[in-house]
């Protein structure tokens, strides 16, 4: 059973990484900003993959502890943690020479939604 959660986590991470990468390209082109010193393509993919695997591990652990699928509990936890993580971009100290720093949260906050969204899409396919 862990193998299916593991594969679902990897798939959700890869798809969310792709979605975040394309969002990054569209946002930076449309807004004419460059945050690649802070948000690199490798960082986007690694963070998305890590988050997808973390969600899969959380869901597997909850299922193992309660001996049944607690979908409502896992969805509430995923949504709550995702919403709490949106505070982080506002706490980041940007370099003083960064142009238009007010656009940084607009870039990274939507990217934080992609792993949870992809998990909710991928989970029924694997589990």
CA distance 122 to 42: 22
- Given a contact cutoff of 8 angstroms between Cβ atoms, the answer to whether 10 and 48 are in contact is no
Q: For residue range 63-119, what is the model confidence (pLDDT) as tens digits?
A: 999 877 788 889 999 999 999 999 999 898 888 788 888 999 999 999 999 999 999
pTM above 0.75, yes or no: yes
For 111, list phi and psi in degrees, rounded to 5: -65, -25
Residue 100: half-sphere exposure toward Cβ, Cα within 13 Å: 10
- Given a contact cutoff of 8 angstroms between Cβ atoms, the answer to whether 107 and 27 are in contact is yes
* DSSP state, residue 2: H
Domain residue ranges in the chain = 1-89+101-125
Reference 24, options 46, 9, 45, 51; nearest CA is 45
Q: What is the pLDDT of residue 28?
A: 95
């Amino acid at each position: 059973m862990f193998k299916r959660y593991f594969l679902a986590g990897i798939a959700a991470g890869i798809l969310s990484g792709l979605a975040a990468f394309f969002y990054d390209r569209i946002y930076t082109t449309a807004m004419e900003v460059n945050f690649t010193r802070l948000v690199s393509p490798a960082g986007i993919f690694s963070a998305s993959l890590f988050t997808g695997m973390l969600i899969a591990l959380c869901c597997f652990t909850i299922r193992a502890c309660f001996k049944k699928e607690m979908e409502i509990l896992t969805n509430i936890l995923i949504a709550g943690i995702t919403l709490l993580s949106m505070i982080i971009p506002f706490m980041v100290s940007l370099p003083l020479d960064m142009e238009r720093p007010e656009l940084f949260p607009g870039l990274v906050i939507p990217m934080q939604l992609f792993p949870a969204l992809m998990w909710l899409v991928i989970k029924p396919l694997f589990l």
